[in-house]
Structure 1
Amino acid sequence: MHHTSLIALLVVGFALAFLFGGLAHRLRLSPLVGYLLAGVLMGPFTPGFIGDASLAPQLAEIGVILLMFGVGLHFSLRDLLDVKNIAVPGALVQIAVVTALGWGLARLIGWPNVTGIVFGLALSVASTVVVLRGLEERRLLDTSRGRIAVGWLIVEDLAMVLALVLLPALGGREGGSLGGALLTTIAKVGGFVVFMLLVGKRVIPWILERVAATGSRELFTLCVLTIALGVAFGSAHLFGVSFALGAFFAGVILSESEFSHQAANETLPLRDAFAVLFFVSVGMLFDPMILVTEPVNVLATFLVVVVGNGIAAWAVARLLGKPSGTARLLAVSLSQIGEFSFILAGLGVSLGMLSKDGQSLILAAAILSIIVNPLLFALHDRIEARRERGKPEAIEVISPPLPDGERPHVILIGYGRVGSELGPLLQAHDIPLVVIDDDLPLVERARAAGIPAVRGHAANPAVLSEARPDRAQMALVAIPNAFESGEIIERLRELNPTISVIARAHSDAGVKYLLERGADGAVMAERELAHSLAEMVGALPAFRGERSLPPATA
């Protein structure tokens, strides 16, 4: 059965990740916890099925490439510049403080200085997935506090990208003295960056434009994946830099292209799938016995992550003159660790700079901190509720005013290819309209067109309530995913049982599914297109039994 080890690893990995990810979601925890636990069950330290340890690192490497590609694809220099005065110094000071705390704990355990630095760095960077989810659930992404948190995350991510570049030099992989190794690494990275800015910035968008012109979705998706994996592989072999840095820069270059949104959408399923495999493979490395054999070290590491990051972020924000509410939100958001921590730990182990026990402590602290984080957010919400009678913090009004409820309005969910065509048509007919979309560029496009827009996932009751469904006459669900549409329709029915709901589908099964979920009607684009083309053909004089006039003669 050795020849089927890859298939077995994928099947069992996805199945367990689905089961435990779903359970974590039901418990209102991050699905990352479920994915990590799935990996623990597949690892060599627990009984039952054991995944092929030789395949897991390679799958994890692909996961790292696609994760970093996604980070680069969503990198926003504008978001960072808007809050640079607090995000840049704040994140750097917080990273330095927590790295020092981690180093101190490592020295108490008896580890060398270099191990302490890697250990501390891994404890200082928050999970972007967890933070964004917490902010979105509370409708804070578009507030000044939310933008500071996002900018802070960007700085943390950039700092970790730099750490991934420099760690091989610090680990002696480059050979020679430390100074010479650092100079060599910086020179290689500089050469790669110059190459990407001079060549990649011109060639990559040019290739994407030509492929997009073919109209083939499959070729476009393959092109994007080839760019992500090809740049990562080429950067490692031609410039000696990490796969992670190459993938990150490929994403950054693509983010400036007009096809960046399409590239993100087309590759999202594959990126999500390999991200799940990445977390599963990380879980396979975790030895649960460390919770029994080293409980004091696990607790100390957990406290560095939660208390150290929280107090450091809160204190820096207050010192920089931010209100207590902003400082408190930053403290809660950043008091956990995730993706980059695993990447740094894995690199540290491969370079001999971090022990397996150190990696297990990091994994234990990550799992515990992600589990505790929703409880900290709940405490934050209670404190905010008690301050309701106080002076609220100013929130930027960046959207046209929402309907006041005097006239029935329409809720348009999804402002992509279909929604962006439908919205202006409704607006031209003077129909009150509210757009809901979870993609910031699309929300900004709607607002720029004068359409009130709410950012967030419409299945979230808090997001949906902001569009006032109780006063809406109709909802148009224009997103392509039938399962997400079904969940949104159910939420709409709960908030307004009398609202009319029309949804978009791509198949007869999708139409049936949406109708079963409560839609009043479901439009299948392909069928409507066929009917429209047939009507156009039938309207031609030659097919109506009419003879067209002969061409005019001189």
Structure 2
Amino acid sequence: MHHASPLISTIVGGIVLAFLLGALAARLRLPPLIGYLCAGIVVGPHTPGYTADQTLAPELAELGVILLMFGVGLHFSIKDLLAVRAIAIPGAVAQIGIATLLGMGVSWALGWSWGQGLVFGLALSVASTVVLLKALQDRDLIDSPQGRIAVGWLVVEDLAMVLTLVLLPALAGLLAPGAQADGAASPGAGDILVAVLVTLGKVAAFVAVMLLIGRRFIPWMLERIVWSGSRELFRLGVLATALGVAFGAFYLFGVSFALGAFFAGMVLAESEFSHRAAEESLPLRDAFAVLFFVSVGMLFDPAVLVADPWGVLATLFIILVVKSLAALGIVRVFGYDTRTGLTIAASLAQIGEFSFILASLGVYLKILPERAQALIVAGALLSIMLNPLLFHLLDRYTARQARTLAEADLS
């Protein structure tokens, strides 16, 4: 007799329960996303009953991130990315800096060291790829000016986190609490500079390969597949491109899976088959995106809300209020209208996958306490649940502004 493997159990349990609770949430006029997160809490290790595999679930969720970023890249040309660099680069850097400083302030109040505060603040500064893109796609904003700015902003944040994850092990001796008192060796300025240059060099090499080789080979390959007349082979070619480039980007160049998939989609966007590729990959993108939210719910321990309510509120304040106001102010300073500023602010008012990775690495390197990781996970889940509410308020504001303009025109 065959027995259900952890892989099958995790996929079936996650998708079936996500469907049931997502349908219930929709019935209650709540975003289905809330149902997906609750499904993760139910199958997580912190609640009684069935527990999904905690190793497989995040890896399945990573597939959702890859496919989603690939799909965004299909609608986002290199020209679009360069067009928003003037605001995306300084805006993302400034917003990361502000959120990190406030995170360090909270960590100081909690009695943590400056190194712990730095890592904690960085984890709160970067938005979730899946949540941001899902919100923009649901409102057809990916191809809008504010959508392009948000995606460009996201790319800069991803690059900053890639650099952070590379440097963190090298700086562990300096950032860990009591490291200097214990006489632990700290890296010199030369070591840090070399690590930064190597990382930037790898990113530049990946971009060069994609522009010089991938830009020609990927469209050429899919064109030959189309001529074969096999729809199944074309669909497989699209998935192989997304997953293969993402995998290669990570293992050969140290670039994140998400960023690699985004560039693969962006290169393919210049092909005449880009729209078809987007349609063929859509069902898998949606299915694995759901597993991402389930995996987030699995990390959440509801007990933290009772054990550390003030820490959770302070964390949530930085994510929802500080990041939003910082993004709004930065966008307005660059001369964009209030609607664009509010869209960017709502898009960035949450955290996700990079925050989990950074928190886990920080705990592993004995920089962050486990309390910090619990607060980051709680802040991520609550901010993801509240993010649709922010967009609902934005939709109401936009509708009211449209009515006001219409009435002004009639008068």
Query: Is the TM value for this pair above 0.5?
Result: yes
Looking at structure 1, the residues matched to 343 and 251 of structure 2 have their Cα atoms a distance apart, in angstroms, of 42
Residue by residue over 1:203-257, the C-alpha shift from the partner in whole angstroms, topping out at 9 and shown as x without a partner, is 1111111111111111011111112222222233333444333323222222222
Relative to structure 1, the CA distance from residue 187 to residue 335 in structure 2 (aligned partners, 3 Å threshold; closer, same or farther) is closer
Question: Separation in 2 of the partners of 1:140 and 1:79?
Answer: 14
Shift of 1:389: 7.9
In 2, Cα distance between equivalents of 1:180 and 1:10: 42
Query: Could you tell me how far apart the structure 2 residues matched to 1:372 and 1:378 are?
Result: 10
Structure-1 separation of matches of 2:34 and 2:25: 7
Alignment of 1:78-89 (within 5 A): 78-80=79-81, 86=87, 88-89=89-90
1:277-426 paired onto structure 2 within 5 Å = 277-338=291-352, 341-342=355-356, 345=359, 354=368, 356-377=370-391, 379-380=393-394
Cα offset, 1:393, TM superposition: 12
Match of 1:275 in 2: 289
Matching residue's letter, 1:172: P
Q: Give the equivalent residue in structure 1 for 2:183.
A: none
Distance 1:348 1:136, change over 3 A: same
Is the counterpart of residue 10 in structure 1 residue 7 in structure 2? no
Q: CA offsets, 1:91-131, max 9 Å, x none?
A: 44333322322232233334444543443344334456666
Name the residue aligned to 2:169.
172
Matched-pair contact (CA < 8 Å) for 1:87–1:151 = no
Aligned residues: 391
Distance 1:230 1:13, change over 3 A: same
TM value normalised by structure 1: 0.61
CA separation of 1:107 and 1:387: change in aligned 2, threshold 3 A? same
| Structure holding more helix per residue | 2
Partner of 2:58: 57
The change in CA–CA distance for 1:329 and 1:228 in structure 2 (over 3 A counts) is: closer
Deviations 1:355-380 (A, max 9, x none): 55434323322333344344445555
Q: Does 1:205 align with 2:206?
A: no
Q: Deviations over 1:117-173 (max 9, x none)?
A: 44334433445666677678778778xxx623x133113211222024212321226
Deviations 1:271-294 (A, max 9, x none): 222222222122212211111111
Deviating more after overlay: 18-27 vs 132-141: 132-141
Query: For 1:458-490, what per-residue CA distance to the aligned partner results, in whole angstroms no more than 9, with x for missing partners?
Result: xxxxxxxxxxxxxxxxxxxxxxxxxxxxxxxxx
Provide closer, same or farther for how the CA distance between residues 206 and 29 of structure 1 changes in structure 2, counting only shifts above 3 A: same
Provide the residue aligned with 1:70 in structure 2.
Answer: 71
Partner of 1:36: 37
Please tell me the residue identity of whatever aligns with 1:288. P
Residue of structure 2 in register with 1:151 after alignment: 148
Q: Does 1:189 align with 2:203?
A: yes
Q: More strand by proportion, 1 or 2?
A: 1
Rounded to whole Å, the distance in 1 between the matches of 2:200 and 2:265 is 21
Does 284-293 or 170-179 show the bigger shift?
Answer: 170-179
CA contact (8 A) 2:150 2:344 kept: no
Q: Does structure 1 retain, via aligned residues, the 8 Å contact 2:61–2:291?
A: yes
CA change 1:113–1:288 in 2 (3 A) is same
- Counterpart secondary structure, 1:156: helix
More divergent stretch after superposition (341-350 vs 234-243): 341-350
- SS in structure 2 opposite 1:171? helix
TM-score of the superposed pair, with normalisation by structure 2: 0.80
Equivalent residue, structure 2, for 1:219: 233
Percent of residue pairs bearing the same amino acid type: 57
Structure possessing the higher relative contact order (Cα contacts under 8 Å, 6 or more residues apart):
2
CA distance in 1, matches of 2:140, 2:281: 27
Amino acid at match of 2:219: P
Q: 1:319 to 1:173 in 2, by over 3 A?
A: closer
In structure 2, what is the Cα distance between the partners aligned to 1:51 and 1:103?
Answer: 34
Distance 2:209 2:142 in 1: 35
In the alignment, the residues of structure 2 paired with residue 316 and residue 393 of structure 1 have an alpha-carbon distance, to the nearest angstrom, of 31
1-side partners of 2:227 and 2:402: how far apart?
Answer: 53
Q: 1:107 to 1:66 in 2, by over 3 A?
A: farther
1:445-460 equivalent positions in 2, closer than 5 A:
none
Distance 1:104 1:340 in 2: 21
Contact 1:302 1:369 in 2 (8 A): yes
**Residues 428-450 of structure 1: CA deviation (Å, up to 9, x unaligned):** xxxxxxxxxxxxxxxxxxxxxxx
